[in-house]
Amino acid sequence: MRAWVTPEPPVLPGSGSGRVLLHDSVTGMLQPAGPLTGEARLYACGITPYDATHLGHAATYVAVDLLNRAWRDAGLRVRFAQNVTDVDDPLLERAAATGVDWVGLADEQIELYRTDMAALRVLPPDQLTGVVESLETVTDLIAVLRDEQAVYQVPDPVYPDWYFSVTRASNLMAGTGISVVEAEQVFAERGGDPERPGKRHRLDCLVWRQARPGEPAWDSWLGRGRPGWHVECTAIALDALGPEFDVQAGGRDLAFPHHPMCAAEARVATGRPMAKVFLHTGMVGLDGEKMSKSLGNLVFVRRLLDDGVDPMAVRLVLLAHHYRADWEYTPEVLAVAQERLRRWRGATSASAGADATATLDAVRAALRNDLNAPAALAAIDAWAAAGGDDPSAPALVAEVADALLGIRL
């Protein structure tokens, strides 16, 4: 599956050293992310393509993009992989409700996602992989789990689906912030089926769903059907990056059950951790509620762009909030971003400005300290307000904004 195209960020003076620190959701602590030299490996859980990209999606992928840019600025090569869940219940339900072909709906929404990410100057993944094109990869992983006696079929004479046994994972709940009592409810709310008869444990997760009437299905050694959600990501990530990669990223709603299930499957299959650090972004709200497709309270990136909003202003809306923070979108937030963009463009188009060396250092330090984008914006705000007589400064600040923040001035 092809990704989008975004210009390579410029190389800034003084780059090539320093570690990026990230808050690891599992340990709750800041820790170094990525190696000192060489290649950093990053996986970000992608979209289920049944609706266009909303600001909640965009906030996650812009945060991932900040990490990608900070690593590159530190002199690392980055291997970045992402999936697209191009067959899943929500997609099939939306297609049925609207009377359209599910493949056509997925293709349409994937293309919208690509164009939105390109407009926001998110650096593309090296590998963007759909589930449909990865079925053999998924079934091969399930075979490994079978050999480890970690999957089983429920004794259902009609639909003997396959499940992963969570009792193989000793620390499934570590770092989730969810109690054992709450786990079943959250599991059910986020695609699980704790009430399914025949399961050995109520939190066991589906790895292969036997074909139902009217649903897409594929032949495999597991029976004709399609894969479950968690094992898809596990298989695609391990295939693209190998085990124990540097960062697994996604929204905080993936902190349970999705990421722990993926991590448990990976550890059973490989004997090694799936990822060293788990990055989870905060939730974006509208009208007092988390922005979500199920609630319908969405602000779409495409709608803002079609209304004439500069995509760099949209990106500045997202950068104005720390990636782990919950925040609410309002028209006032957009107005602040538009005014900031106007000030920055005015200052960087001037013939001279204040010396920008300290600004570069401040932006770089902010992003290497848990991707602190608000502090980075404040540093450029201060430079734009200062004025000065250095003729090289405006061009340098424009390169800093481009390379590290993804803002084209």
Task: Quote the pLDDT of residue 265.
Answer: 96
Clarify whether residues 269 and 370 are in a common domain. no
Is residue 6 assigned to a domain? no
Clarify whether residues 45 and 87 are in a common domain. yes
| Whole-structure pTM value | 0.96
Is residue 13 assigned to a domain? no
- Of 260, 281, 302, the residue at which a domain comes to its end is 281
Contact in structure between 19 and 71 (CB atoms under 8 Å): no
Is residue 5 assigned to a domain? no
pLDDT per residue as tens digits for the range 353-374: 999 999 999 999 999 999 999 9
Is residue 317 assigned to a domain? yes
Number of domains in the chain: 2
Task: Quote the pLDDT of residue 211.
Answer: 98
C-alpha dihedral over 340, 345, 346, 351, to 10 degrees?
Answer: 140
Task: Quote the pLDDT of residue 296.
Answer: 67
Clarify whether residues 50 and 105 are in a common domain. yes
Is residue 133 assigned to a domain? yes
Clarify whether residues 277 and 314 are in a common domain. no
Clarify whether residues 272 and 316 are in a common domain. no
Range of the structural domain that residue 243 is part of: 21-281
- Of 265, 281, 297, the residue at which a domain comes to its end is 281
Rounded to the nearest angstrom, the gap between the alpha carbon of residue 59 and the centroid of all alpha carbons in its chain is: 9
CATH assignment of the domain containing 149 = 3.40.50.620
Clarify whether residues 246 and 103 are in a common domain. yes
CATH assignment of the domain containing 315 = 1.20.120.640
Clarify whether residues 320 and 384 are in a common domain. yes
Rounded to the nearest angstrom, the gap between the alpha carbon of residue 409 and the centroid of all alpha carbons in its chain is: 25
CB neighbour list of residue 63: distance below 8 Å, 6 or more residues apart: 249, 279, 281, 318, 323, 371
Is residue 305 assigned to a domain? no
Is residue 297 assigned to a domain? no
Q: What is the DSSP string of 115-145?
A: HHHHHTTPPPPSEEEESGGGHHHHHHHHHHH
Task: Give the tokens for residue 162.
Answer: 């396959």
- State the chain's mean pLDDT as an integer: 95
Q: Is the peptide bond before 257 cis (omega within 30 degrees of 0)?
A: yes
Between the alpha carbon of residue 316 and those of residues 98, 121, 129, 173, 181, the distances in Å are: 34, 12, 28, 35, 39
Is residue 40 assigned to a domain? yes
Exposed/middle/buried for 17, CB within 10 Å: 0-12, 13-18, 19+?
Answer: exposed
Q: Round to whole Å and give the CA distance between 268 and 318.
A: 37
Clarify whether residues 206 and 331 are in a common domain. no
Clarify whether residues 274 and 316 are in a common domain. no
How much helix, strand and coil, in percent to the nearest 5, is found in the chain? 45, 15, 40
DSSP summary character for residue 7: P
**How, if at all, do strands 151-153 and 127-130 pair?**
unpaired
Task: Quote the pLDDT of residue 374.
Answer: 98
pLDDT under 70: residue ranges of the chain = 170, 289-296
Task: Quote the pLDDT of residue 168.
Answer: 87
Exposed/middle/buried for 44, CB within 10 Å: 0-12, 13-18, 19+?
Answer: buried
Clarify whether residues 218 and 345 are in a common domain. no
Clarify whether residues 215 and 322 are in a common domain. no
Clarify whether residues 181 and 75 are in a common domain. yes
